[in-house]
């Protein structure tokens, strides 16, 4: 059987050309940084002018109840009426978020969820976020209370 490339220099040129082709096309594929995503443990949601940031539930020791962690940002120049149903159908928050303000839920400003509807850490809790006339359904991750130290919290409003 006769080899296709008879000489050593021809083989070397072919290897270099193949390596160059791989190197040049490596950067051509879409990458994760080209798409919008929330690089955090929690989820992100946009409902009208309201944006939920890094939303998640931290379960208490019994696993029957928990606390909402995360923040809601009002990016508009008008106040927004905000409500949260968790589990879906049971209202646990009803507040007005001022123009260009941030409503932060953390250890200093707790939003207690008296029931997780049978969901446990590692599962998702269905919730409904309402902002004015608009609403969105989403599933919040539930984490164990032992992991609460690793949760990001937000303390300043967008204008500070």
pLDDT at 21: 78
Q: How many CB atoms lie within 10 A of CB 63?
A: 15
> CB–CB of 105/69 below 8 Å?
yes
pLDDT at 148: 63
* Cα–Cα distance measured from residue 141 to residue 86, given in angstroms and rounded to the nearest whole number: 12
For the segment 138-142, the average pLDDT, to the nearest whole number, is 94
For the segment 40-51, the average pLDDT, to the nearest whole number, is 91
Beta-carbon-side half-sphere exposure of residue 137 (alpha carbons within 13 Å): 6
For the segment 116-127, the average pLDDT, to the nearest whole number, is 90
Query: Which of these, 132, 150, 130, lies nearest to 56 by C-alpha position?
Result: 150
* Cα–Cα distance measured from residue 137 to residue 116, given in angstroms and rounded to the nearest whole number: 16
* Cα–Cα distance measured from residue 154 to residue 145, given in angstroms and rounded to the nearest whole number: 19
pLDDT at 51: 95
> CB–CB of 150/103 below 8 Å?
no
For the segment 134-158, the average pLDDT, to the nearest whole number, is 73
For the segment 131-136, the average pLDDT, to the nearest whole number, is 94
* pLDDT of 157 over the 70 cut: no
pLDDT at 131: 94
Which domains occur in the chain, in start order?
Answer: 43-150 (2.60.40.1890)
Mean pLDDT of the chain: 82
Q: Is-above-0.85 flag for pTM? A: no
Residue by residue, DSSP assigns 63-128 as: SS-EEEEEEEEE-SSS-EEEEEESSTTSEEEEEEEPTT-EEEESSSS-EEES--TT--TTSEEEEE
pLDDT at 62: 81
Q: What is the pLDDT of residues 69-111, one digit of tens each?
A: 999 999 999 999 999 998 767 888 999 999 999 999 988 888 9
């Amino acid at each position: 059987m006769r080899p296709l490339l008879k000489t050593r220099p021809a083989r070397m040129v072919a290897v270099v050309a193949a390596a160059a082709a791989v190197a040049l096309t490596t950067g051509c594929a879409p990458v994760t940084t080209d798409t919008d995503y929330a690089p955090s443990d929690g989820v992100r949601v946009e409902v009208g002018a309201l944006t939920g940031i890094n939303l998640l539930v931290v379960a208490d020791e019994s696993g029957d109840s928990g606390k909402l962690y995360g923040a809601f940002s009002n990016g508009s120049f008008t106040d927004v009426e905000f409500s949260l149903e968790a589990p879906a159908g049971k209202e646990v928050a009803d507040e007005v978020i001022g123009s260009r303000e941030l409503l932060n839920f953390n250890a200093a400003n707790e939003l207690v969820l008296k029931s997780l509807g049978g969901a446990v850490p590692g599962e998702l809790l269905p919730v409904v976020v309402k902002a004015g006339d608009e609403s969105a359904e989403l599933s919040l991750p539930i984490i164990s209370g032992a992991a609460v130290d690793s949760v990001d919290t937000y303390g300043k409003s967008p204008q500070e």
